[in-house]
Amino acid sequence: MIIDKFTWQIPTAVEYGAGVVNQISEKIKDLNGKHPLLVTDKGLEKTGIVERVLKNITLAGIEVVKFNNIESNPKMESIHEGVQVLKKNKNDVVIGLGGGSPIDAAKSIAMLAANGGDIMDYEFNYEEGFTKVKKKALPIITIPTTAGTGAEVTFWSIVLNTKKNYKATIGSPMMAPNIALVDPLLTKTMPPYITAVTGVDALSHAIEAYCSQLARPISDALALQSIELIAKNLLRAVANGDDLNARDKMMMASLLGGMVFGNSDVGAGHCLAHALGGMYNIHHGLLCGIILPYIMDYCLIAAPERFVKIAIAMGERIENLSERDAAEKAIIAVKRLIKDINLPSLKELKVNLEDFPQISKIAAADPAAVTNIRKFTEDDFKVVLNNAYTLSFH
């Protein structure tokens, strides 16, 4: 008998539930922090959440500095600026408040402040592994306000390389958040569109990680639970943002998805989303959702039995069906969900067909292409892009 050997790690301590955001001052002190840097974005400030968190910290007698110059796709220049702000103010803890962008930025800022240099010096690849980051990042606290990215519990960060126009993957266990305050009530302010695109981002995390070469029994269990929660609750949350039960379930699904892909990685869908997002500055979750069913369609032959389990998790009836037909039910279910939340096509987003070769080249060089359950070449990525553009399936 062959016994599989693998490493599974979730180094982040998670506090989950309604109102846990109010523990922020206590957690700063737990990390021996006296002067934190709060990384967020200007859009979130309009909701009142940033002001609420800042007030909580200052009322505890802690002096906090706010850095809000973070884009929806964080640029390398913004990371460098954040490090300069941190060093100028001698901040000793970094708080990431918001969606995936400010949280990813917070992780990169905390790591770069400790290690020095240019953020692109730390771009991840599987050949060198985690050898580039030598020193542990400054203490990090994450507070997600969207149900989708799972970034609050991963040691990955996506940063836009503006010199080469692509999204770079930065990652190391040395930059894992220390504490995540996961409060479902913070997602109440999300409008339907953001609820939808962050929700399908979470779905793509769970499905791609479940279909990864690095998938293991622990990740499988969490991924299937995440998929089931999203299938049952995303449309409810989109339709009624005040449905707190749906908000809670979606937040949990996102958290589970982060735990899964933080260990098992994502796949070919994220390779394309990173390439397209870097070139066109389109919302990451939107791209993941648009591309997901076409990636699934292309990968089905590599592991049909896994797609059968995805179909079941999505609530599909598979009685008396062949394995292939049951597996295809997973793709049908995802297509229906994408249609129900009214996501546009690549054509409607004005993605240029002439860019497909360059997009495919960038996607093929993405680290996540290595772990995808079906091997992808540049030509394979072109096929998927064309299928997504013309809304065609095998």
pLDDT tens per residue, range 188-230? 999 999 999 999 999 999 999 999 999 999 999 999 999 999 9
Other C-beta atoms lying within 10 Å of the C-beta of residue 236: 16
Q: What are phi and psi of 287, to 5 degrees?
A: -65, -40
Candidates 258, 255, 226, 232; CA nearest to 245 is: 232
13-187 CATH choice from 3.40.190.10, 3.40.50.1970, 3.30.360.10, 3.90.920.10: 3.40.50.1970
| 140-190 pLDDT tens trace | 999 999 999 999 999 999 999 999 989 999 999 999 999 999 999 999 999
Q: pLDDT band at residue 34, thresholds of 50, 70 and 90?
A: very high
Instruction: Answer whether residue 393 shows pLDDT above 80.
Output: no
Gap between the Cα atoms of 210 and 269, Å rounded: 13
Instruction: Answer whether residue 71 shows pLDDT above 50.
Output: yes
Handedness of CA 292, 297, 302, 304 (dihedral sign): positive
Other C-beta atoms lying within 10 Å of the C-beta of residue 3: 4
pLDDT at 3: 74
End-to-end CA distance of the chain: 38
Gap between the Cα atoms of 378 and 152, Å rounded: 32
Candidates 268, 282, 302; CA nearest to 346 is: 282
Q: What is the mean pLDDT of residues 125-130?
A: 90
Give, in degrees to the nearest 5, the angle at Cα 242 between 236 and 247.
60
Beta partners for residue 168, in sequence order: 159
Region for residue 157 given its phi and psi (left: phi exceeds 0; alpha: psi -120 to 50; beta: otherwise): beta
Gap between the Cα atoms of 156 and 259, Å rounded: 11
Residues 6+ apart with CB under 8 A from 42: 68, 69
pLDDT at 68: 98
Gap between the Cα atoms of 328 and 348, Å rounded: 26
Q: What are phi and psi of 29, to 5 degrees?
A: -65, -35
Instruction: Answer whether residue 394 shows pLDDT above 60.
Output: no
Instruction: Answer whether residue 139 shows pLDDT above 80.
Output: yes
**CATH 1.20.1090.10 location in the chain:** 191-390
Strand boundaries in the chain, DSSP class E: 13-16, 36-39, 65-67, 93-98, 140-144, 156-161, 166-171, 179-182
Instruction: Answer whether residue 1 shows pLDDT above 80.
Output: no
| 237-272 pLDDT tens trace | 999 999 999 999 999 999 999 999 999 999 999 999
Residues 6+ apart with CB under 8 A from 319: none
Q: Edge-to-edge, what's the strand order for the sheet holding 93-98?
A: 13-16, 179-182, 140-144, 93-98, 36-39, 65-67
Residues 6+ apart with CB under 8 A from 219: 8, 209, 210, 212, 259, 260, 263, 264
Gap between the Cα atoms of 201 and 261, Å rounded: 12
Residues 6+ apart with CB under 8 A from 7: none
pLDDT at 2: 66
**CATH 3.40.50.1970 location in the chain:** 13-187
Q: What is the mean pLDDT of residues 288-309?
A: 97
pTM of the model: 0.96
Q: Is 160 helix (H, G, I), strand (E, B) or coil?
A: strand
DSSP 8-state secondary structure symbol assigned to residue 73: S
**DSSP calls for 357-393:** HHHHHHHHTSTHHHHBSS---HHHHHHHHHHHHHT--
Q: pLDDT band at residue 391, thresholds of 50, 70 and 90?
A: confident
Q: pLDDT band at residue 284, thresholds of 50, 70 and 90?
A: very high
191-390 CATH choice from 1.10.540.10, 1.20.1090.10, 1.10.357.10, 3.40.50.150: 1.20.1090.10
| 304-363 pLDDT tens trace | 999 999 999 999 999 999 999 999 999 999 999 999 999 999 999 999 999 999 999 999
Higher pLDDT, 39 or 72: 39
pLDDT at 25: 98
Q: What is the mean pLDDT of residues 285-294?
A: 97
% the chain with pLDDT above 70: 99
